[in-house]
Amino acid sequence: MKSFKIYFEGRDLAVPRQDTLEAFLRSLEGKTLRDAKDPFDFNSFHFSHKYSFAGLPGTPDKDSSDPEEQRDYNILQFSKALVNFLQRDIAKYGYGKMEDREYNQPEFKKEYDYDSYQKARSDQARTGMARNKARREGNDEEYKRLEKKYQDLGDFISNHKYGNAMRMIDKEKDEGREKYYNTPLTAEYLKDDGSELYTKMVTTFAKLGGDSETVIDV
């Protein structure tokens, strides 16, 4: 089995070979979203490992005229732009700010009695600390009482309708996300949609020396 270091250093970077952005995107048709984006996700991981805390050129804390560093930076920026464009609909499947998720909305919390769920979790945490204190002090009787209370609260939390509803939503989101990542990319999905995300791909692809079929010189 290859060591991580050998695997990591032996893996090639993903760099488009086509002359235009659109030709490159056409080469992705039929691939799943995951298969299309993963090599470019690796680019970001590679450069964070390569440069560590030194910082890449073009970042606020570092500037460099070194050709290799500038090339790396351009590859990194295109990789990020591409991945952001490819997974632009990921927010539908649970990613995003915690406060925006369905089970964190006031109406949902009220319907599923979030207050009693949260109170039980707080009570269990305090009970756990008191139980551990009793164990350290050698108070077996108090420890057993608190251990039972801790377990009872755990059962209440596990079977609470808020927790069950939250887990069901997360499961649906996870299944939807897997389906999304494993869906083959189509020409329609990959076309210029006029968004800022697509424009970012155009500008970062140009930094790699490529063109765009949608940009018309006047």
| Domain ranges, ordered by start, for the chain | 4-93+186-207, 99-173
Its pTM surpasses 0.95: no
Q: What count of residues does the chain have?
A: 218
Question: Over the stretch 36-77, which tens digit does the pLDDT of each residue have?
Answer: 999 999 988 888 777 764 555 555 445 556 788 888 888 999
CA pair distance 124, 153, nearest whole angstrom: 6
* Percentage with pLDDT > 70 across the chain: 85
Residue 45 has what pLDDT?
85
Question: Over the stretch 23-33, which tens digit does the pLDDT of each residue have?
Answer: 999 999 999 99
CA pair distance 117, 109, nearest whole angstrom: 10
| Closest-CA residue to 127 (of 157, 148, 155, 156) | 148
